[in-house]
Amino acid sequence: MIEKIIKPALDAANRVNHMKTTLHLAPINGGAFNCLPARSVELENDCILCNHITLPWDFNPHGVRLWVIGNEFGALGAVWASHEQDAFDELVNANLGAALLIDESDADEESPRLGNAGEPANLDNAWIQAVQWDLARDCQTLCRFAEARGNNQDTLDN
């Protein structure tokens, strides 16, 4: 049954030149000061990393999922990671998190350090939300991720 859905969706994905992808985010209810509604964001395909693609039907003991990270100006990028800290690190390592970084002279000992280089960051206005997959709605996007994984792509763009 899945082959009947995936094959036409993959063929359609290959015929269309995708410049942007819409991702649907899961709501967060972490208390009075940490609530974000379920919403959709549109990202350029070169801002969506294909680093550790784990599709909903894959064996996933580490809980890897797609995270979208942004700030008050909008979404910065999407990365596959097992938790929020790894997601922020992956974003900075891929040079997509420059808007979160601050000068070393502005950093203090309380400043979070991101990425492999431990660069100082200001996360006051940063947000992070996991993508919520719906197989019927997101079939074409999931097919594009499956194809990207098979082609060993760095981003969804190439």
Residue 14 in domain: no
Residue 12 in domain: no
Each residue's pLDDT tens digit, 44-90: 999 999 999 999 999 999 999 999 999 999 999 999 999 999 999 99
Each residue's pLDDT tens digit, 136-156: 999 999 999 999 999 999 999
Residue 91 in domain: yes
How many domains in the chain?
1
Q: How far apart are CA 7 and CA 158, in angstroms?
A: 20
- Tokens encoding 66: 């797609």
Q: How far apart are CA 6 and CA 124, in angstroms?
A: 41
Based on the number of CB atoms within 10 Å of its own CB, is 138 exposed (0-12), middle (13-18) or buried (19 or more)?
buried
Would you say residue 17 has pLDDT above 60? Answer: no
Would you say residue 8 has pLDDT above 80? Answer: no
At 37 the pLDDT is: 87
pTM higher than 0.75, yes or no? yes
Q: Is 148 helix (H, G, I), strand (E, B) or coil?
A: helix
Residue 149 in domain: no
Q: Is 112 helix (H, G, I), strand (E, B) or coil?
A: coil
Residue 152 in domain: no
Between 3 and 152, the higher pLDDT residue: 152
Boundaries of domain holding 105? 20-132
Question: In 3D, which of 46, 36, 3, 30 has the Cα closest to residue 131?
Answer: 36
Residue 60 in domain: yes
